[in-house]
Structure 1
Amino acid sequence: MPDHQGPCGSGRSGTVHGENKLTRRRSVAGLVADASGGPLRRTMGLSQLTLLSVGATLGTGIFVVLGEAVPEAGPAVVVSFVLAGITALFSALSYAELAGMIPGAGSSYSYAYATLGELVAWVCGWCLILEYGVSVAAVAVGWGQYVNELLQLTIGWTLPDSLAAPPGDGGVLNVPAAVIVILAMVVLLRGARESAVANAVMVTVKVVVLVMFCAVAFTAFHAGNFRPLFPLGTAGMTVGAASLFFSYIGFDAASTAGEEAKNPQRDLPRAIILSLALVTALYCAVALAAVGAMPWQRFAGTEATLSQVLVRSVGGGNLWPVLLSIGAVIATTSVVLTVQYGQIRILFAMSRDGLMPPLFSRVHPRTGVPRAGTVIVTAFVTVLAALIPLGALADATSIGTLFAFALVNLAVLILRRRSPEAPRGFRVPFAPVTPLLGVAACVYVMYGLGADTWIAFGAWMAAGLAVYGLYGIRHSALGRTATPEKTVQETTP
């Protein structure tokens, strides 16, 4: 298909701040102009934005990572969820303020660009690529586990390990994980409205399924399973919180839909806070029910954890486990869909700023979707999902997210000082204390991650700096301030 350049009215000309290339900044006004004049279509209201964040969040930790966190924290996994939730809350408040102030598609990448300069913005965007891409891959791996569990419960047959597990877990290729990522791409290519409708249906199903799990698991509840509460000490609780923070990733998904929201200044902050409140309540309830029904020592090595809790601890045959596994398959499908959506929009924003190749910001005129970016992201995530074990994916996602969240909290403090008069649809209460606590909480949880995760994160950052040095710094739109910026669109033949 031929491409043409179309004016965007981005307002980038004259928006450079900072004395050198590494510290040059976008202005808030320029970012807002991009958001208001971009090619993405505004089709989402408050309910759709809230469900987008819930869809990206709910299910990731409960359906996938809980089985790995319980052996680390013991019964204190419930406290680990609370600690991870508080850590997320501080950052959620900061996201709410900045999303209402800068309602673009770039999320924390754009916020960093307006406050900390181009190099830090690039690092933040690179972290988001890690966060979203690896998160999708991790959830896709979990989706494959529940598909196998469902096959075992219904027909007594499962996929062989060679086709259902990555090389690190005794297999050759995780085919189910790759399949779900590709299916999500098919839905995303149809358009944002269609994706939002599909997500709304799936979110409703998984909320109902988790409430059902709590109701059934509480029939086998034993208070003695929580004694002692901290068998592995507070250090175990902290390690569990670091792993479970992965399960809160996604509440910021609404901030990536800033250019597709009907009333972003009003609805984005509300959607972020509402989604986090709902998710936290459900997570704590499910963790309490799961550990109450099955002693924490029996969680080690379990896949499809919630289903196994019902199989091992609750009577009634296979009915409840089958229903739960169906719900888990739908739930993880929703996470794959919405998180993949968010990554594509962040790459769209980085491409529009010139820091990524222009093909990521090419928008199809009929569907309003960055089509080339969607296909490329899907290919990248499919490879990760098919070849990398779940535990490594979850920890890598957490560290990238925590780094980005810390930058968002700092951005609130900087913009409060630099642009106090800028309109804000929401203001973080008790600032600067709350954002500073957000930074401290992120650093504290990052401390609980293992050395291997830090080494992998360092390697990812080194690769990102190399890409920025070879491409981003030379193609940055802020380096071409003499002429207005253009946005690339695809045309049909």
Structure 2
Amino acid sequence: MLLDRVKPLDAILATAKKKALKRTLGPIQLMLFGIGCIIGTGIFVLTAAGAQKAGPGLMLAFVIAGLVCIVAALCYAEIASMIPVAGSAYTYSYATMGEFLAWTVGWALILEYAIAASAVSVGWSGYFAGTILNEFLGIELPQWLAAGPLALGGEPGGFINLPAMVIALLVTWLLMIGTSESARVNAVLVAIKVAALTIFIALTFTSPEFDVDKFNPFLPAGVFGGFGTGVGAVGAAATIFFAYVGFDAVSTAAEETKNPQRNVPIGLVGSLLFCTLFYILVAAGAVGTIGGQPIMGPGGIPFPAGSEELALQCAMPQYAAALVCSDEALAHVLRQIGFSGVGNMLGIAAFFALPSVILVLLFAQTRIFFVMSRDGLLPEGLSKVHPKWNTPYVVTAITGAIVAAGAAFFPVGQLADIANAGTLYAFLMVAVAVMLLRRSDPGRKRDFRTPALWLVGPATIFGCAFLFLNLPTEAMLVLPVWSLIGLVVYFGYSRRHSHLGRGIVEVHEPEYAEVEPGIPGVGHHEAS
């Protein structure tokens, strides 16, 4: 039987009881924590890709993605308060649906974290090349070194995105030798990001260039472009879902929250509503000043974001200043309306803030790898801890190499779509796990109970599946292909070596977690 191996929840919770945490967080603290985790890469680098898919309807796309996140977050909050241990959706699935489905979730998370780190690296590269090199140093990086073969914006025919590859390898090296970021530094970076976006909103809305006529037509590609097309407001929502990922960090804090039944939903929904409003204002400021209409292809359908066809169009002089052709969209908007200095400062903010997100993503990916290895599903040699650095250097090096390769050769829009495919699958499975636990273990202590689960649970499943089906076909296909590779690994190695299958049910926290207390993102990520 494929679904016969379910890890005992009591065994998992035994670990959590050894590490009981003091309840100190209130609703405002939770909300601020969520805002810090959510606002990140997505809004800095995906504004152009979203506009190419939906035009000014990008604002509606943020609403659609935000609503899916709210219902998913409420499901996450209940199960995170019940099972506050490492492994995130992988561990939750193991305790409810068994080893086989847990393997598929963990395998998808490995893909998600790695591809998301690649996407952030490409986003950082745009700000590095545009702001640091071009604007400050007067150096224009050759196209063949600044972009992969199908990079968004500029002339097609790039060979490798060298800055993206270098930053991915540098962060990997830092993570291998044990460098951690402190909560204080992270708080400063969050403040920089929020301040930069607030200034952007103020300058664009008060600019003489702002004109409501630039919002027409509002939905040039319609609301629903069709399954697999990746266009329209829903298609854009499937891409910019990446801008919200990180909200599950709030749900994992349920164990440390005072009155979690009241404060967790306030923190979750409050931070998501704040960020949605923030994102809508940023999108409105960008579109209202320099316009945000997509470049249309045959049949009145926008060229795919990140495609060679779009790159050819963006190489033409008439589109040189277009929002959809920029790889540092927000800084580009400010330069176009006469605020080059402020635009450069925003570019610098992204330049300094984004590497910390790459670090969090790589750390979270290795944590999933580590937990799966400790369960016997992956070779323990992959998570070997370095005797001097006290980090899982083997799996970190392998992950870093894969992340660097993805960053070097793929555009940010395509990478975000692929990362979202894995994320949406994991969120869907969490909703299923919550509903199964309500039925199979109704008496279990829950610090937070999802309100109206009969509605919220199915809404999460439908919302995640609907956004998944609105990703571009290529992005949708990556997940099943990756899953097939995972099935070969599972039946060829993992099922035979599984600790649970061999009667071993102890639950261990990764040893190196104690060595890296300053790195946020354990069990969650800050991809946005």
- The 1:424/1:485 distance shift into structure 2, 3 A limit, reads closer
What residue number does 2:404 align with? 382
- Which region of structure 1 is more displaced relative to structure 2, 373-382 or 303-312? 373-382
Aligned residue pairs total 467
Q: 1:71 to 1:409 in 2, by over 3 A?
A: same
The alpha-carbon deviation at position 172 of structure 1 amounts to: 2.5
CA contact (8 A) 2:34 2:250 kept: yes
Of residues 130-139 and 348-357 in structure 1, the stretch that sits farther from structure 2 once superposed is 348-357
What residue in structure 1 maps to residue 443 of structure 2?
421
Aligned counterpart, 1:210:
197
Aligned residue number for residue 328 of structure 1:
350
**Match for 2:413 among 370, 391, 408?**
391
Report if aligned partners of 1:257, 1:345 keep a CA contact under 8 Å in 2. no
Q: Name the CA distance, whole Å, in 2 between partners of 1:195 and 1:435.
A: 36
Mapped to 2, the partners of 1:187 and 1:270 lie a distance apart of: 36
Structure 2 counterpart of 1:161, from 143, 153, 167 = 143
SS at match of 1:354: coil
Corresponding position: 1:219 with 2:206? yes
Q: Give the aligned partner of residue 106 of structure 2.
A: 125
Alpha-carbon shift at residue 156 of structure 1 (Å): 2.3
Q: Is the counterpart of residue 276 in structure 1 residue 272 in structure 2?
A: yes
How far apart, CA to CA, are the structure 1 residues paired with 2:65 and 2:221? 18
2:309 corresponds in structure 1 to none
Q: Which moved more, 1:136-145 or 1:174-183?
A: 174-183
Other-structure match for 1:229: 218
Answering whether residue 67 of structure 2 is matched by residue 86 of structure 1, we say yes
**Matching residue within 33, 40, 63 for 1:59:** 40
Does residue 1:292 correspond to 2:316, yes or no? no
**Cα distance change on mapping 1:438 and 1:49 into 2, 3 Å:** same
Q: Residue 198 of structure 1: CA displacement?
A: 3.3
96-105 vs 23-32, which moves further: 23-32
2:395 aligned to 364, 373, 376, which one? 373
Partner residue of 1:315? 338
Contact 1:95–1:255 (8 Å) recurs in 2: yes
TM score, norm. by length of structure 2: 0.80
Alignment partners' CA distance in 1, 2:174 and 2:258: 24
Please state how far the C-alpha of 1:252 moved relative to its aligned partner. 2.5
Using the TM superposition, give the Cα deviation of residue 452 of structure 1 relative to its aligned residue in structure 2, in angstroms.
1.6
Q: Could you state the TM-score of these two structures normalised by the residue count of structure 1?
A: 0.85
Who is 2:426 aligned against?
404
Deviation string, structure 1 residues 45-72 (Cα, Å, up to 9, x no partner): 8599877765553222211111011121
After TM superposition, give the deviation of residue 375 of structure 1 in Å. 3.1
- 2:14 maps to amino acid: A
**Equivalent-residue separation in structure 1 for 2:505 and 2:450 (angstroms):** 37
Matched, 1:139 2:120: yes
8 Å CA contact retained: 2:81, 2:252: no
- Confirm whether residue 100 of structure 1 aligns to residue 124 of structure 2: no
Change (3 A) 1:35 1:268: farther
* 1:250 matches 2:237: no
Q: Which moved more, 1:301-310 or 1:266-275?
A: 266-275
Structure 1 match to 2:13: 32
Candidates 162, 183, 192, aligned match of 1:175? 162
Q: In the TM superposition, what whole-angstrom CA distance separates every residue of 1:415-459 from its partner, at most 9, and x where no partner exists?
A: 111111112221111112111101111111112112222222221
Q: How far 1:268 sits from its partner (Å)?
A: 8.2
- Separation in 2, partners of 1:57, 1:152: 29
Q: CA deviation at 1:82?
A: 0.5
8 Å CA contact retained: 2:165, 2:408 = yes
Q: Cα distance 1:255–1:426, how it changes in 2: closer, same or farther (>3 A)? A: closer
Distance 1:483 1:247 in 2: 37
- Secondary structure, counterpart of 1:96 in structure 2: helix
Q: Which residue is equivalent to 2:236?
A: 240
> Is the 1:55–1:338 Cα contact (8 Å) retained in structure 2?
no
Contact map agreement 1:105 1:257 (CA 8 A) in 2: no
Percent identity over paired residues: 40
Query: Aligned pair 1:303/2:303, yes or no?
Result: no
> 2 CA distance for matches of 1:339 and 1:45?
26
Give the distance between the partners of 1:37 and 1:117, measured in 2 at CA.
24
Q: Against the structure 1 CA distance between its residues 378 and 252, is the aligned structure 2 distance closer, same or farther, given a 3 Å change threshold? A: farther
Q: Displacement, 1:24?
A: 1.1
Unaligned runs of 5+ in 2: 152-156, 225-231, 294-321, 516-528
Bigger fraction of residues in helix? 1
Asked if structure 2 preserves the Cα contact closer than 8 Å seen for 1:477 and 1:485, the reply is no
Change (3 A) 1:224 1:459: same
Post-superposition shift, 1:31? Answer: 1.5
Q: Identify unmatched segments of 5+ residues in structure 1.
A: 1-19
Q: How many Å apart are 1:303 and its aligned residue?
A: 1.4
Distance 2:218 2:234 in 1: 13
> Which moves more between the two structures, 439-448 or 378-387?
378-387
**Residue aligned with 1:480, SS:** coil
Do the aligned residues in 1 keep the contact of 2:469 with 2:476 (CA within 8 Å)? Answer: no
